[in-house]
Amino acid sequence: MNTLLVTFSILCGVVLCGTAISLFAVYRAHSLLGEIKLQKNSETAREHAEVDAVRTSVDALAAQMHDLKSHQPAAVAPGPPKPGLNLNKRSQALRMHRRGETANQIATALELPQQEVELLIKVHRIVLSTV
């Protein structure tokens, strides 16, 4: 009878040990789920805070746009167009340059800005150097 008692006690010990391990596993799983929920809640709160910050910025920009639209000055009529360097003036400027006149003289004679005449002459030199 003694062996039966020893066998039964070993079996009870194994069952108690398995139950303890099972309870520990359930407790640990519950703890991990709680940590995951806390992390998720903190991430959600952070995302909501970021969304609120963006929404506030957008609202501020919308208010600025509204202020700018309401304080917009009356439309100013554009001035007369500046005399441009059309094909006739371009060919005249190049002819005058070939005759030896300076960029200042060409600009004065054709009523063009001096920088445009200088640019035309530089571009013409580059084109001739590549040919």
The overall pTM is greater than 0.75: no
Please compute, for residue 98, the number of CA atoms within 13 A of its CA located in the half-sphere on the CB side: 8
pLDDT tier for residue 21 given thresholds of 50, 70 and 90: very high
How many CA atoms lie within 13 Å of 54's alpha carbon, on the beta-carbon side? 6
Q: Which of 16-25, 52-61, 108-117 has the lowest mean pLDDT?
A: 108-117
| For the chain, percent of residues with pLDDT exceeding 70 | 91
Q: Which pLDDT tens digit goes with each residue over 42-91?
A: 999 999 999 999 999 999 999 999 888 887 766 667 777 665 667 788 88
